[in-house]
Amino acid sequence: MRILGIETSCDETGAAIVEDGTKLISNALASSIKLHAKTGGIIPETAAREQIKYIIPVINRVIKQANIDTSKLDAIAVTVGPGLLGSLLVGVETAKTLSYVWDKPIIPVNHLIGHIYANFIEQTDYRLRTTAVDGRPSTVDITFPALGLIVSGGHTDLVLLKNHGRIKWLGGTRDDAAGEAFDKIARLLGLPYPGGPAIEKAAQRGNISRFKFPRPMIDLDDFDFSFSGLKTAVLREVKTIEQPALSRAEGLNNRAINDIAASVQQVVIDVLVAKTIKAAKQFEAKSILLGGGVAANQTLRDRFKLAIGNLKLEIPFFFPEKWLCTDNAAMIASAAFFNYKPLEWKKITANPQLYFD
């Protein structure tokens, strides 16, 4: 089955054709991130206006790349939420129109669930994107029950996948998501948007031991997250460093920025890994799946591998190719295949507040 996926939940405009949920036939993405970098964050109206310009050219590009006639497509998948309403409407209304014109079934997809299914998209073989305890590539399949950690700019959630179409939400952020915290802290440090990659880069040159920030909710007996307090702690530290009365203070120079970035990244990763490992043990997960924009952080991936190895957990750890961690349409098409529930095009609606059922 070949599915055309469409993703426009935020500032990206993506389209992809995926076969049988795993084989990537073609993919295209247009981004307006350069515009948002100038303002230090996403302006919803700007994002939607850019998507209106990009959506048809992007879809045409993937059809041309695939070198197939639209009659050979079996279905259309589209992100219906959560996300920015204006952006979602661009993708949803385009997908509905194509569904009607081409007479193809249309499958609504939850963007958050899509991030989980990025793990099923093949590059060579999706089974090779896990790492065994000994550090070598493993050929173990993704098996259920699987524990999914979705970590992005707007969401930090732990979910239990009992099987395709059977997902239980375990916990999530009570305030700032991990990626949102990175964005806000990067702004405090004068680093560019998006904050996650900027902090990761600065952290490579930093000393993780210089600053001692709190690890919020790491010891609580639940699977919720909170990173707003970390942001506040960084703000206090920055103000202290910048106080001119402290004659011995260096000021917020590159060294201080790098050291704060290293400490912040360490704190976030410590919390994410600890909560995920605890949930994996409690629910006897047979796979751990990582997804979302922050999942592209190499230190986060390495820490998961290290934790699983040190604890001698025989749980395969899966993570997508880095380009599949950020918003893309391939994951939407994959999620639609494995959760195939088409609706009449008239019944498809955008829902910016959509969450887990």
Return the CATH number at 90.
3.30.420.40
Nearest to 5 by CA among 132, 109, 149: 109
Residue 353 lies in a domain: no
Same domain, 108 and 147: no
Same domain, 131 and 101: no
Mean pLDDT is lowest, of 6-20, 39-53, 128-142, 335-349, for: 128-142
Tell me: the pLDDT tens digits for 216-233? 999 999 999 999 999 999
Q: Provide the pLDDT confidence category of residue 127 given band limits of 50, 70 and 90.
A: very low
Mean pLDDT is lowest, of 124-128, 234-238, 245-249, for: 124-128
Residue 352 lies in a domain: no
Q: Provide the pLDDT confidence category of residue 43 given band limits of 50, 70 and 90.
A: confident
pLDDT (mean) for 294-313: 93
Q: Is the pLDDT of residue 134 over 70?
A: no
Residue 292 lies in a domain: yes
Same domain, 30 and 72: yes
pLDDT value of position 298: 96
pLDDT value of position 139: 57
Same domain, 131 and 105: no
pLDDT (mean) for 260-277: 97
pLDDT value of position 123: 54
pLDDT value of position 124: 40
pLDDT (mean) for 63-67: 96
Same domain, 92 and 135: no
Nearest to 78 by CA among 14, 170, 134, 35: 14
Residue 355 lies in a domain: no
Same domain, 29 and 91: yes
Distance CA(233)–CA(212), nearest Å, equals 10
Residue 22 lies in a domain: yes
Print the domain residue range for 22: 2-123+324-347
Nearest to 73 by CA among 4, 22, 23: 4
Coil, strand or helix: which one is 168?
strand
Coil, strand or helix: which one is 252?
coil
Distance CA(352)–CA(317), nearest Å, equals 30
Q: Is the pLDDT of residue 341 over 70?
A: yes
pLDDT (mean) for 118-124: 80
Distance CA(9)–CA(288), nearest Å, equals 25
Same domain, 299 and 215: yes
pLDDT (mean) for 195-213: 95
Residue 356 lies in a domain: no
Same domain, 145 and 21: no
Same domain, 17 and 70: yes
Check: CB of residue 21 under 8 Å from CB of residue 337.
yes
Residue 66 lies in a domain: yes
Distance CA(224)–CA(230), nearest Å, equals 15
Average pLDDT over all residues of the chain:
91
Tell me: the pLDDT tens digits for 154-175? 899 999 999 999 999 999 999 9
Report the percent of the chain where pLDDT is more than 90. Answer: 82
Same domain, 101 and 219: no
Check: CB of residue 109 under 8 Å from CB of residue 164.
no
Same domain, 199 and 83: no
Same domain, 89 and 159: no
pLDDT value of position 357: 64
- Asked whether the bond before 194 is cis by omega within 30 degrees of 0, the reply is yes
Residue 278 lies in a domain: yes
pLDDT (mean) for 59-74: 96
Tell me: the pLDDT tens digits for 79-120? 999 999 999 999 999 999 999 999 999 999 999 999 999 999
pLDDT (mean) for 33-47: 80
Q: Is the pLDDT of residue 126 over 50?
A: no
Tokens 């959630």: give the residue: 157
Give the count of alpha carbons within 13 A of 110, CB side only.
Answer: 15
Number of domains in the chain: 2
Nearest to 292 by CA among 131, 122, 136, 157: 157
pLDDT value of position 129: 47
